[in-house]
Structure 1
Amino acid sequence: MGEAGESIDTSVPHPARRYNYWLGGKDHFAADRASGDAIAKAFPIVVALARANRKFLGRAVTFVAGEGVRQFLDVGTGLPAPDNTHEVAQRIAPEARVVYVDNDPIVMVHARALLQSDPRGRTAYLEADLRDPDAILKHEALRDTLDLNEPVGLLLIAILHFIHDDARAAASVRALIDALPAGSFVAITHGTMDFSSPEGVAAYEKMFAAGGTDVRARGRQQILGWLDGLEVVEPGLTLVSDWRADDDPADRPVSDDLGIYAVVARKP
């Protein structure tokens, strides 16, 4: 993740554009495609997992909106794709308000152009970095759109694994959660090697050490540790395709070379 405000360098792959490539979108460059293809060659399941991750976003937003939450903070939103956060939330509650955050200027350009709110609700877009949560929380666009005295659905979807420093990742999560009132929810997805074979772990570690992937895989206990003091919603921390899924289990991606955890928790 680059710092907010950097000029666009299309020669360097960016997670949001690579993710868009895996989802079948059109907003990516040669470097993003090369990076995506290299990771998919090493871990063939990654495209199916990316799509499962996107479906989880919809289920998580549906659940949180169903619990009465009408505000969402989507950090690391990525490029627009079908069923964006505000589209899902506003189908349930047209008055829902959403703030999108990303550190890629290209994402912000597309978001402002394409992510049009229901007129009864509101969306805002701010360019900022998860590694600087104070900048997010103090941003005028957030303060003008969300009321932090009322519950918020915090979405950290496939973003924390791009922060390689464990302490910094934990601090970013805690700072955002601490700023939210009781009754708020946080939804997290995160890459893991917990379900991988020894061969898969070895391939990942080799690729990560060589800079071939920017995903810092983490384990179950580390992710749950970020949620200390919160009430983890059933079914708990699961594979992303299993969390309150409504499809046939036979249709879900299964692999021994890469996985994505998903979890939703409520702040009491």
Structure 2
Amino acid sequence: MTSHHTGRIRTDIAHNARVWNHWLRGKDNYPVDRAVGDRVTSLHPGIGEVARADRAFLGRAVTYLAAEAGIRQFLDIGTGLPTADNTHEVAQRAAPDARIVYVDNDPIVLTHARALLTGTPQGATEYVDADAHDPQAILAAAGRTLDLARPVAVMMLGILNFVLDTDEARRIVRTLMAAVPSGSHLVLTHPTADPELGGEDNVAAMEFWNANATPPITARTRAEFTSFLEGLEVLEPGVVSCSLWRPGPGQPPPVVAQFGAVARKP
């Protein structure tokens, strides 16, 4: 089996960061990722649209936070493989002195991120190898680049769905938000099987994913998603399909089965 391992990189089993990259029409993926990604697409034809809607939501949320809310520090957990308009690029376009810490625990992401994620000279862009299941380790590492006494935007886009226990997922969010001051923000997206967002396709797609790829994934209901925001002020328009969070002018975007929200710590 050694031929499949490059350090911790497995090329014989599909991995979330690389499959997501394939859906975003990127090049940083292996045949196994494309095969699993295409099979998921056959079960859930809108999944590429979800991936692109999630990226577009990230852009709008980070632009709002940097340009309007005055946020200069971003902790992006579960960042995935770099594509266009990563958090630091969006933030530093609005605020060149913005500081960004990316967190992921996938070695292939680590390699690409260190090579590609270079920000403005007046800001900072750092990469931390840590697991979302260990928020204390994330905070300890992030504190070397970010001032946790000043407001931070904690970003968890499509990452809590890999924390299978909802109580544990809630604890992770609470631990992170307890460590940052008033004026900090939480930015979340999460897949759902709720019919209100057309999430029925997610059920078969996730079952297939969990049998054929890593890490395992779960959908959550509106109520479960909303529970992650307890104690925070949820900004307008509230908990919506991430494609409908403050969309730009023009055609209303298609609804995707991915909740999105931005909330402020009072």
The answer to whether the superposition gives a TM-score over 0.5 is yes
Runs of 4+ in 1 over 3 A off after TM superposition: 196-214, 247-250
Q: 1:247 to 1:37 in 2, by over 3 A?
A: farther
Distance 1:216 1:68, change over 3 A: same
Matched residues in 2 for 1:215 and 1:236: separation?
24
Provide the residue aligned with 2:38 in structure 1.
Answer: 37
Q: Structure 1: which amino acid aligns with 2:102?
A: Y
Q: Could you say what secondary structure the match of 1:241 adopts? A: helix
Describe how 1:128-207 pairs up with structure 2 within 5 A: 128-139=130-141, 142-195=142-195, 200=201, 203-204=204-205, 207=208
Alignment of 1:264 onto 2:262: yes
Inter-partner Cα distance in structure 1 for 2:81 and 2:212: 23
Structure 2 residues not aligned, in runs of 5+: 1-6
Q: How many matched pairs? A: 257
Q: 1:72 matched to which residue of 2?
A: 74
Other structure's SS at 1:145 match:
coil
Please report the TM-score for the alignment, with normalisation by the length of structure 1. 0.90
Q: Which amino acid aligns with 1:98?
A: I
CA contact (8 A) 2:36 2:212 kept: no
Shift in Å, 1:211: 5.4
* CA distance in structure 1 between the aligned counterparts of 2:184 and 2:226, rounded to whole angstroms: 17
Please tell me the residue identity of whatever aligns with 2:242. Answer: V
Identity of aligned residues (%): 49
Per the alignment, in what secondary structure is the counterpart of residue 183 of structure 1? Answer: coil
SS in 2 for 1:54: helix
Deviation (angstroms), 1:193: 1.2
2:222 paired residue number = 220
Show the counterpart of 2:15: 14
* Deviation of the 1:253 alpha carbon: 2.8
| Residues 37 and 150 of structure 1, relative CA distance in 2, 3 Å threshold | same
RMSD between aligned residues: 2.0
Task: Give 2:259's aligned amino acid.
Answer: Y
Distance in 2, matches of 1:31 and 1:110, equals 19
Would the aligned equivalents of 1:38 and 1:212 in 2 still touch at CA under 8 Å?
no
- Once structures 1 and 2 are overlaid, which stretch shifts more, 196-205 or 32-41? 196-205
2:4 alignment partner in structure 1: none
Q: Distance in 2 between matches of 1:31 and 1:94?
A: 39
User: Distance in 1 between the 2:193 and 2:250 partners?
Assistant: 24
Cα distance, 1:248 vs. partner? Answer: 3.4
Taking structure 2 as the reference length, the TM-score comes to 0.91
> Following the alignment from structure 1 to structure 2, what is the Cα–Cα distance between the partners of residues 267 and 247?
28
Which residue pairs with 1:49 in the alignment? 50
Deviations 1:118-161 (A, max 9, x none): 0010011011110111111112xx22210000000111011111
Distance across 2 between alignment mates of 1:116 and 1:63: 22
Indicate the SS of the match to 2:194: coil
Kept in 2, the 8 Å contact 1:45–1:253? The answer is no
SS in structure 2 of the partner of residue 106 of structure 1: helix
Q: List per-residue Cα deviations over 1:16-43 (Å, max 9, x = no partner).
A: 1111110011101122112211111100
